[in-house]
Structure 1
Amino acid sequence: MCARIDQNETPRHYALAFRWTAFTDASQAQPLFNVSPGTARPVLHVADGEQRIDDLFWGYRPAWAMDKIPVAANARLEKLNQRYWAPLFAHGRVIVPADGWYEWTGGPKDKQPWHIHLKSRQPLFLAGIASVGPAGEHPAESGFVIITYGAEGSLVDLHSRRPLVFDADSAALWLDPHLSHAQADTLAHEASLQAELFDWYPVDKALGNVRNQGAQLARPVSQQSSPAPVQAGFDFG
């Protein structure tokens, strides 16, 4: 999964779509069509029994790993039980709401971005894990990552990996602090929305510049050929 999402609605809109009726909205993030790691974005989570929307830094690296490993934007589902991710998986599960995510296909000199979304055009509830707490020396110390796993169906034409997307009911279970580590692991492996529920189309190559914003970036453009997976470039997991 390439690290870019479409998050163009207000946090309150996402919370209501999530069927939350009593929640604390502490987010100050603006809706954006071109969201990249390294920015503070709204996530849904439960803290001390309270349903909350808070802005967290997209990216995670604990303080002890400073200057040792890069900041991660995503975490692979198959690695969540490893020592590095296990504490966040057990106690820091969050939902990242979005309207779609982007992938790039083609060669290094001719990359074509694609907008992937539900056919229903309902919000996506992306599974994430986070270190929620006071800000440290670097914002990534209290940041979030999006969980990815191997793509299936025709989604493999866009990228070998995809984000873990839940429906509202499964997403609510993901946030339940009483859900055990093992139960969360089972949910992650069994409840992700399948490829046939998604659709995608090519969008403006201006999306590649993270400074570019606007609804035009998420609108379809003409594409003469079928997508060919990216042959080079950084893989965010």
Structure 2
Amino acid sequence: MCGRFEQSETPRYYADALSVHISEHLMRLGENSPSYNVAPGQRPWMIMPYKGELLFIGMTWGYRTPKEAAEKKKPCICARVEKSRMGSYFRHMFSEGRVIIPFGGWYEWTLENGKKQPWYITRKVNEPIFMAGLTNFRPSVEQSVDTGFVIVTEDSGAGMVDVHDRRPVALEPEDALAWMNPDTPVEEAAHIAQTRSIPTEQFVWWKVDRAVNRVGPNNNGKHLLVPVSESA
């Protein structure tokens, strides 16, 4: 988990789902278009609190240390919830860089007849999901290093493990706000991430067209979410 996700709504839509106010001048940092196929290295919306309001920031999906950047290593895109709090790699972000990434669903792959078959996973109810994330970005701080975010993941459960054994930590609005609140103690934030993720039973998933496998302007539309038949 998770190699791609869908983020097709506006900042206002996600803010309304969180029941929070966002001022117009802080609402967007960067300009984004709706995306049904967000890939690592792209810059979807990342939400973080700042001076009592929410910033919607177009932020690179992926993180690597300055040393890794110098060595041109591939960035990490996910952080295991079991290790991110205590491990030296993400510990500084778990303390000061907890964020959320709003989305409607994500993609996973199985191997069928030697080909990668994408699946779309979303909620059974028509409501957005807020992934727990971590970032090294700090607003109003001049930074000389690469900035980006990673998605916090956990073990999959129930039938979802047949598609992939990892899934994002997906939070309801109340828990999402508490997770990224800088006043929330690290221990409480860890508890939220480890115990409050939306249960697997509240999700549904289906096969979608293999066009999802290719990233580009011609593979970024609502048609990517349409189920395909078993015989396709």
Note the 1:1-237 alignment, pairs <5 A. Answer: 1-23=1-23, 24-27=26-29, 28-66=31-69, 67=71, 69-80=73-84, 81-107=86-112, 109-133=114-138, 134=142, 136=144, 141-211=146-216, 212-224=219-231
**Contact (CA 8 Å) 1:164, 1:188: kept in 2 or not?**
yes
SS of alignment partner, residue 57 of structure 1: coil
Structure 1 residue 224, shift from structure 2 partner: 4.2
Q: Distance in 2 between matches of 1:142 and 1:39?
A: 12
Structure 2 length-normalised TM = 0.90
Contact 1:93 1:174 in 2 (8 A): yes
Structure 1 segments of 4+ aligned residues over 3 angstroms from their partners: 133-137
- Which 5+ residue runs of structure 1 have no aligned equivalent? 226-237
| Deviation larger for 101-110 or 180-189 | 101-110
Structure 1 length-normalised TM: 0.88
Residue 108 (structure 1) shift: 7.5
- Identical aligned pairs, as a percentage? 36
Residue by residue over 1:16-65, the C-alpha shift from the partner in whole angstroms, topping out at 9 and shown as x without a partner, is 11111234212411111011010111111112333211111100112133
Secondary structure, in 3 states, of the residue corresponding to 1:72?
Answer: coil
Per-residue deviation, 1:106: 1.7
Once the 2 structures are TM-superposed, how far is the Cα of residue 135 of structure 1 from its aligned partner? 5.5
Deviation of 1:221 after TM superposition, in Å, equals: 1.2
Deviations 1:106-146 (A, max 9, x none): 24832211110000021110010001134646xxx210000
Rounded to whole Å, the distance in 2 between the matches of 1:48 and 1:82 is 28
CA RMSD of aligned residues (A): 1.7
**How many residue pairs were aligned?**
222
Unaligned regions of 5+ residues in structure 2, if any? Answer: none
Q: 1:170-208: CA deviations, max 9, x gaps?
A: 001001111111111111111011010001111111110
